[in-house]
Structure 1
């Protein structure tokens, strides 16, 4: 065990003052009188020391001793649960937790070693429980030691004089510990120095008020007044507001309207309040606030009940009772807390809406379901990550049994869930409900499902001529995620920007980069967040690979009576054009290169030539290439089959549509032709269609007819088709009404 002093440097400081007076230029000032100097062990020095001493009682919830405090952070264990206490706020939460648990659960164990700090800021390292107990048992409380109801406003300064009353230095003080050490050093100083406080000096009281003093006497009086009233004022603005939120409150006295006696008020942390009587809400939700004016504290109620609204002056308060006056009226509120709950009604309302909740009735039911409590009273029950949810409503109420959670108007699970559930256990992430002999356990699941929805991403895009690529960050990351929990996404170029949530990218749907790593920040509704990496890769792509992969040829049938032949030019590259930015058609290659005189109506292009070439200009990502389309007029009757030939080979085996205008999107359909019944059975793995078919001999050749093909996509084959090519294993058909539309049938014999 070792002890050390934190203000040893003060003693060294005074020695430096003395040496400085021998070396530096001497400044002549007015000699301070006795009322202006700070003398060791004087009344003022002692009052200032008590004000700045380390207040050991501030953490009595930890060490049960006002003689010292425990240095933070410190790790403790309560009921096998480990907590790390880092701030005064953590101490307040610990006190609330212990107040709501039974004495048997209040055993607090430190993770040693710990350091304790005494009123003079000296420290001792404690190695075990026995050593700590010895210091606790040796503590003799002295209520006159520390004054914690007033604080100095820093910085403040002292003037230091030598024995000849020459100013040798000005000392700037920034905090309580430095001031305590400075005052303590006055007693130990062996040099003949004189110290005076530089006014004005400001003080801040526990109720938030400040005062300014200009003399030693004013300072002494201000500290003494604070010390006298230190433990008498529980009705400060902050303490009343916190007290009102802790539990519900019942009106025990109401002078002007006795009918209000017995109703309960619930003050929520969002500055609204509700009125209840016998567990039923009057559906009055108003606003509330606490304010201080001229040293007096007021509760302001903005309510639909005119008599209840207004500014109520707080005239007396303790842990369980607050007394108010408003004009001639008097109102007394008594605190009504559920002793067996860790949560107030306001707490429950808040934590229910923070995150989704997993729930179970102990039998394995609902293990994949989650509840979401929306602020407008809507309830959603979802399964897994499903977007569709069971709807309903929720509400909180109070009756003689305690706090009630009500499920209503559910679209499913009505028998299992609807009704009034009494809350019998509650903490920040778990709530136990009881309805008759049923039990329901809710477990808060703020972030696990949310953050599990996301991962690191790698996006790949083709580089343009400048070497960069355009990435749709939204579509390729959060656009692929279906997450039940609400969240706020943002994209950042650096990790530090993502962690501090600054400089979020704006154009996330068209973000241009040459290849880099950026960061996706996912923030939950409670403020927790995680950062995910997005790797952007640019690659060299052949945008025109599809166009280069085949020779485009369009054919139509020759006819003696036909002067012009029609072609549907876009059919030639129909599989490739969706990936292109601009596609246009030209009669000459020079026109295509220069992008002049494009064909006005490429869907119905007419020509008298029997064999000609059209040029397709394709633009992708600012790059251009030209591709030819060969247009041929052929003798469709050459080498054709008779009607009997066609009927015979169709009925022999199964057939597939291997091409429809150059596309293979109908290849999965199987066609079985029944010759005697004129029925063609069209089927896939999932559907079967009984359609009609026929053949006829015309002057132009054999025509195959399809009828009653009712399913989407395949219904495009309805109508009459001229056989333009015929072999035992393949038929090429052109639509009688539009010869540019082509079907290729291939035979498959098992």
Structure 2
């Protein structure tokens, strides 16, 4: 980097010279010149040492736009009208989050001056206004002065030996950090001769350490590591340090759910919301719409200057068929951008089940679902509005409102026409007995029906009332299917036991599968009664009220005592 503000640099030189002079007042016995290889202050090895010890200013490019300089903490900025004090690197992420809140707005950042900046040679300069800052930043960018090496670092302290022009030893200097190392070489003359005390340890960007024993080994280690990591020196804070390889791996790691689509200055989000995109290693991408249809296309990525592009191609999905600029890649989200404001925002969803029947089954069992609309033969069935479905294991479904509970069966299947349907049979509610074709699948709202026939059913997620009452039939059927473990509310084992409730009997097995207790049980409504236990579980004889239940657990209460049965199959 060019030496700027030489008046300040000269002052620093004087201070460092005095410091080194005090350090060299007493010398330990030095190795002979024959034992120690030397380098000059202008050698290629010295230049590599200088570049490795340079101050890295790339971390705050979002503020100053230059990797050659760094603004000293604390300082204050105004971002889109909001004043923020920057005390650490973490605070810089707040600025990016504000910038990312809206994709179509113009982001404005103003620095509150004066500020103090640190140059790559650790010179400190007070900046009074934005024009002065721009001048220094542009000088760095245009002049190519950002020559620091960030992928490898020295492990301090280091000891240097100094020699005179006759190769006679003159002293030693110990440096404790990059600043001291950079200033040490700054103060050397072009013909000065120095030597490092070996072995020297260095740390690579991935945390691994290496040891070198000569100047030649040192130079080779720095050259090998120089381009081994992304130094983020392109002054584009919003690229989030990704390349083609990282993008490819990121896309194939999990499916993505579409959250926002804009094409030709018009929002298409309603049409494509919660479509699932699944990127395959063979270049194929499968898109699952909300009706269970599968649209197949191709994808590939290309790397350009500071940018990675994703090309999507479909025969039918024309709004996605485009070469997209990947302008944001953050944990759990990816943003694609093209000209005229076109964009797609997708959220990573590793738990999503792309297969629509399985996905629908999963969503239905997560919470209660309230009937928001139901038409049968073109007539609205008003009395069913506000009722809650609870879709349970073993194809059991309950319908409840104001303490009134009815029970039936449910099944997700594909009919002869290849359409995903939800088949419901409710003995007491004949209007719901139907194979309801899926029309729209979303996390919060499900739509079923046959267009033009007057049959329509809309369900809305109702997690607040998911802890619904468990019916006698549901409890009796589920508890006999598997073995169960017994714990307290925190999950602590009573003992490492498995309980078999099949055929209305109780058989308690230890880890060796030996029966250690026997009894029987009965049920009345949501009350379970355990009888005739005389050994390991004798203290659990009596009536237990089922206060919560799910596909794999029961929570039971007797007085103030609570136990949990968890399915083990």
Interval containing the TM-score (normalised by the shorter chain): 0.3 to 0.5
Larger radius of gyration: 1
Alignment TM-score, normalising by the size of structure 1: 0.34
Relative contact order, higher structure (CA 8 A, sep 6+): 2
